[in-house]
Amino acid sequence: MKTPAQRNSGLKKDLLDVAAISRTEVASLLTLAARLKEKQRRGIPHPLLQGKTLGLLFEKPSTRTRVSFEAGMNQLGGHALVLPIGDIQLSRGESVPDTARVLSRYLDGLVIRTYDHATVQEWAREATMSVINGLTDLSHPCQALSDLLTIQEKKGRLKGLKIAYIGDGNNVANSLIEAAAKMGMTIALGCPAGYQPDQHVVDLARLEAEKTGAVIELGHDPLIAAKEADVIYTDVWISMGREREQARRLKVLAPYQVNHRLVSRAKSDAIVMHCLPAHRGEEITADVLDGPQSVILDQAENRLHMQKAILTKLLGKRRTGTR
């Protein structure tokens, strides 16, 4: 059985998960994202994708992913086209292969936000355009890559730093594990039993960690995970599609709230991250989320700059309908 990295080797056509790209490619994206961010802040035009068109196909609601990709594509001189799932023939039974092949004749790339990770993999197999995972139930690679950019900005480095991820071991946790393994970081997870990250993701990341010196620690105690951390990270307890589990999740995850007591276990200069949207009073308290250690707005902004880097790398040398 092929690993994700073997199925999608390198940042050549698609971006489906962080595990599929090399450490060198991650570092290159970080450098390019920082450069594009500086150009924007200085008001320097950077129309690197003139004449390119990006489709945005979302089966789940989105704020940051949709707006940052659409704005980013426009800033790069290209055009972004939103494709609501209910407005195209997929909603009436047209197959993914047929849709992917046709859209590949119109578009240079497609961002997909869906439920089953196998869906985005099918799109990548069938399309000749670039396919970017804008979020699945398994992974959220664009979020994790932009989080690396934020951490590097705030701390000046990545290797050797410790991220403490507290709460539900969801798609964001999976991608953060992959990212930490690539860049030689320590990631300690405090998640309740039954809410831990995907074991296959962890196993593959530990193989990567053997090469980079990264450390991946799984545990159930949030206070242990947070000890001496450089970064405290959390996410919502009730992800999209999990609404029916709300009552049980709120009860099980209540001891995993990121609050002042938990943050005090980390280093004094630790930063607090949350990929948003946030539910103040649930996974994180308002005083922490809005406090001096929080970098959530910089973190959200960096989605724009990293995604511009991803688009530039994937679409910059591609022609519609070609491999």
Question: Which tens digit of pLDDT belongs to each residue from 147-159?
Answer: 999 999 999 999 9
In the predicted model, what is the mean pLDDT of the chain?
Answer: 94
For the residues 174-180, what does the mean pLDDT come to?
98
Q: Quick check: 49 and 311 in contact, CB under 8 A? A: yes
Residue labelled with tokens 């594509």: 73
Whether 9 shows a pLDDT value over 50: the answer reads no
Indicate whether 118 belongs to any domain.
yes
Whether 317 shows a pLDDT value over 80: the answer reads no
> Count of domains in the chain?
2
Instruction: Tell me, yes or no, whether 67 and 165 share the same domain.
Output: no
For the residues 25-48, what does the mean pLDDT come to?
98
Instruction: Tell me, yes or no, whether 120 and 82 share the same domain.
Output: yes
Instruction: Tell me, yes or no, whether 309 and 289 share the same domain.
Output: no
| Positions marked active-site | 113, 140, 143, 235, 275, 303
Q: How far apart are CA 217 and CA 202, in angstroms?
A: 10
Indicate whether 77 belongs to any domain.
yes
For residue 186, what pLDDT band results from cuts at 50, 70 and 90?
A: very high
For the residues 70-94, what does the mean pLDDT come to?
93
Indicate whether 321 belongs to any domain.
no
Instruction: Tell me, yes or no, whether 121 and 14 share the same domain.
Output: yes
CATH of the domain at 116: 3.40.50.1370
Indicate whether 323 belongs to any domain.
no
Instruction: Tell me, yes or no, whether 205 and 280 share the same domain.
Output: yes
For the residues 102-115, what does the mean pLDDT come to?
97
DSSP letter for 241, please: T
Indicate whether 320 belongs to any domain.
no
Conformational region of residue 43, where left means phi above 0, alpha means psi within -120 to 50, and beta covers everything else: left
For residue 97, what pLDDT band results from cuts at 50, 70 and 90?
A: very high
pLDDT attached to residue 93 = 86
Indicate whether 134 belongs to any domain.
yes
For the residues 196-206, what does the mean pLDDT come to?
98
User: Any idea what the Cα angle at residue 270 is, between residues 264 and 276, rounded to 5°?
Assistant: 100
For residue 1, what pLDDT band results from cuts at 50, 70 and 90?
A: very low
Instruction: Tell me, yes or no, whether 123 and 175 share the same domain.
Output: no
List, for residues 111-144, the tens digit of each pLDDT value: 999 999 999 999 999 999 999 999 999 999 999 9
pLDDT attached to residue 318 = 56
Query: Which tokens sit at 6?
Result: 């073997």
Instruction: Tell me, yes or no, whether 153 and 245 share the same domain.
Output: yes
Task: Work out the burial of residue 310: count CB atoms within 10 Å of its CB; fewer than 13 is exposed, 13-18 middle, 19 or more buried.
Answer: buried
State which residues form the domain around 50. Answer: 4-139+303-315
Task: Output 206-212 pairs: Cβ under 8 A, ≥24 positions apart.
Answer: 206/181, 208/19, 208/178, 208/181, 208/182, 209/181, 212/23, 212/159, 212/181, 212/182, 212/183, 212/184
For the residues 193-210, what does the mean pLDDT come to?
98
pLDDT attached to residue 5 = 36
Task: Work out the burial of residue 235: count CB atoms within 10 Å of its CB; fewer than 13 is exposed, 13-18 middle, 19 or more buried.
Answer: buried
Instruction: Tell me, yes or no, whether 149 and 131 share the same domain.
Output: no
Instruction: Tell me, yes or no, whether 14 and 130 share the same domain.
Output: yes
Whether 53 shows a pLDDT value over 90: the answer reads yes
Instruction: Tell me, yes or no, whether 133 and 203 share the same domain.
Output: no
pLDDT attached to residue 270 = 98
pTM over 0.85: yes
DSSP letter for 258, please: B
pLDDT attached to residue 136 = 97
Instruction: Tell me, yes or no, whether 73 and 178 share the same domain.
Output: no
For residue 10, what pLDDT band results from cuts at 50, 70 and 90?
A: low
Whether 67 shows a pLDDT value over 50: the answer reads yes
Q: How far apart are CA 11 and CA 82, in angstroms?
A: 24
pLDDT above 70: percentage of residues in the chain = 95
Indicate whether 207 belongs to any domain.
yes
List, for residues 244-297, the tens digit of each pLDDT value: 889 999 999 999 999 999 999 999 999 999 999 999 999 999 999 999 999 999
| Contacts of 54 by beta carbon, 8 Å cutoff, 6+ apart | 69, 73, 78, 79, 80, 81, 107, 108, 109, 110, 111, 311, 315
Instruction: Tell me, yes or no, whether 285 and 169 share the same domain.
Output: yes
